[in-house]
Amino acid sequence: MSPTANGVALLRAMIRIRRFEERCAELYQEEKIRGFLHLYIGEEAIAVGVMQSLTPEDAIVATYREHGHALARGIDMNRVMAEMYGKATGTSGGRGGSMHLFDAKTRFFGGNAIVGGHLPLAAGLALADRMQGRGVVTACFFGDGAVAEGEFHETLNLAALWQLPVLFCCENNRYAMGTALERAQSETELALKAASYRIPAWPVDGMDVVAVEGAARRATGAIRAGEGPHFIEFRTYRFRAHSMFDPDLYRSKGEVETWRRRDPITLLTDRLRGEGAVDDAALEGIEREVAAEIDAAAAFAESSEWEPVETLARHVTSEAPS
């Protein structure tokens, strides 16, 4: 793929996530989607950029803000939307909802909603891969909030000690729910924390999808070459509130506006326009296709069946093979 064509594909992938989540916010107001809904709007460049560096054999372990990762990984949008609704056709049979998208086929291990709790799981997958001689990478996404958790430090120590093939992707959006980074961290240069465990670590502009992809390719290349875990701090910002329950009182409108000027979609669009890779007609075409896909996904979710209450207790434990 030419660099320009790839740029357009990255742009399309980010727009697809953005519009999907904007529709989800509307569907939340319509009470089609309930529970917690954490939007990734503003951070799309990270999931899209990192996924470019992964193969189908690699594993992904994400947080409760994972719609973008699921879509970028290639999970069918119909099934993602159905899961948002809680329908039986969803990625997790409707059992998980927005925070718990799972997909065995694409090695997508959630959708995990205990901050920091999924880091050990990612390292364990990597341990299994290493012990069984599979040369694959586990990409683990988490926010700056997780960096304060003990499980972060325990896992980084073990991953470095045992040289496990994990790519730690820290999505630093500067807020752990409502607590600003400088109010929660004695050291706000998060890469330094990883480096203290002897893990190669560096910060990257998380609003620049090309920079994200480049950093992720460099890291996954090193991990595949047996150089152990790597850590990238992606500096980003969430444009929307933490969840639909968040009145967003802890940051100024001016701060949000400043970051919006670095919207990853706008940045890439301007760049591709400058290169002559896209024009208004091309952009309209992308928007039209994406809208059609989202319409179809919402219709699929709307028309899908609910799980019957009779099967509530299924999957608490495994079913005996017949």
Q: Give residues in contact with other proteins (CB under 8 A).
A: 59, 90-96, 100, 102-104, 109-112, 114, 117-129, 131-132, 150-151, 154-155, 157-158, 161, 314-321
CB of 92 to other proteins, least distance (A): 4
Backbone angles phi and psi of 133, in degrees to 5:
70, 25
Exposed / middle / buried, residue 122 (Cβ in 10 Å: 0-12, 13-18, 19+)? buried
Contacts of 147 (CB under 8 A, 6+ apart): 170, 185, 190, 193
Nearer to other proteins, 42 or 86 (CB): 86
CB of 61 to other proteins, least distance (A): 8
Nearer to other proteins, 129 or 208 (CB): 129
Nearer to other proteins, 225 or 312 (CB): 312
CB of 63 to other proteins, least distance (A): 13
Contacts of 39 (CB under 8 A, 6+ apart): 21, 24, 25, 65, 67, 238, 240, 241
| Residue count of the chain | 322
CB of 292 to other proteins, least distance (A): 27
Nearer to other proteins, 35 or 285 (CB): 35
Separation CA 191–CA 204 (nearest Å): 10
Q: Which helix (H) or strand (E) holds 253?
A: helix 253-260
CB of 137 to other proteins, least distance (A): 13
Separation CA 129–CA 137 (nearest Å): 8
Nearer to other proteins, 123 or 215 (CB): 123
Separation CA 277–CA 114 (nearest Å): 42
